[in-house]
Amino acid sequence: MPKISVLMPIYNTEPTVLKEAIESILNQTFTDFEFLILNDSPNNQDLKKIVESYHDDRIVYLENQENLGISGSRNKLMSLAKGEFIEIFDHDDISKNNRFELHMEFMKNRKDVDILGSNAHFMNADFNTNYPETNEEIKRKMMTECCMIHPSCVIRRSFLIKNNVSYDETFSPCEDYKMWIDLLDKAIFHNIKEPLIEYRDSMTNTSNSLNERFKDRTKMIRYLALQKFPQFEYKRTNIDIRLFSCIPFLKIKEKESHIYGKLFGFIPLFKIKVSN
């Protein structure tokens, strides 16, 4: 059995982009994996030709008889995986060639971690994400935004099986965020600070082409998260101390990523940077 199953759905992918994605996986320094590529646009046989042009025994090419959508395709791939670990990947991103090696080394040393992600470099905008690293920080940040970059993640397959994990198509294209929230009280999360993928944030990717639905589903997921896990909600610091209950003496207020202290409501006293 392979150590890793790499799961990549493809859908009318631009040929050059698809080749870059495939080659970034085939060029990994850690080589013990199967690479499951599922074509969810079965009428597009050009994609099949591209995939089969790579004569690599680790590639398993699959086709849906009809379009299942991203959630259905991801669920199908998970059911077919044989590896001890599941590496999630998208058809328009690029993995750093040491991604799997670093993942396997980390998961070997941290057997408590179920889901491991990393930061990413956004190709189009030329910036790196800076998401929280530890389990507690991640869970608090999840109350306001998805801070595990889905195509950067590796998951223990035994954890998926034990918890009967699947993607909820109702929340597509935010099915990954919904899955993380569903697992918030079951999983131990961690992020590697180093960017291990090149993320292609283009106007043709799923999130942007379904922008209004994306915003709507994100709001729904945040609401569900706060209802189900109020213990993870981040409480902002706001303190107003008054002399004789009326004279302003000390105000402490959190704004964005800093805590500010002012004497008598206007004299700056301190400014402290806080982590996520």
**Of 67-71, 166-170, 269-273, the least confident:** 269-273
Query: Does residue 240 have a pLDDT over 80?
Result: no
Query: Does residue 257 have a pLDDT over 70?
Result: no
> Whole-number mean pLDDT of the chain?
90
* C-beta of residue 69 within 8 angstroms of C-beta of residue 169: yes
The phi and psi torsions of 169 (rounded to 5 degrees) equal -60, -25
Residue 99 neighbours by CB under 8 Å, 6+ apart? 28, 87, 118, 152, 196, 197
pLDDT at 231: 78
Q: How many CA atoms lie within 13 A of 224 on its CB side?
A: 15
Of the chain, the percentage scoring pLDDT greater than 90 comes to 71
List the structure tokens of 234: 């981040």
| Mean pLDDT along residues 4-14 | 97
- Residue 94 amino acid letter: I
pLDDT digits (tens, 9 = 90+) for 44-79: 999 999 999 999 999 999 999 999 999 999 999 999
pTM of this structure = 0.82
Q: Token match 């179920």: residue?
A: 114
Confidence of residue 276 (pLDDT cuts 50, 70, 90): very low
Long-range contacts at 123-126 (CB < 8 A, ≥ 24 apart): 123/94, 123/198, 123/199, 123/200, 123/201, 124/200, 124/201, 124/202, 125/201
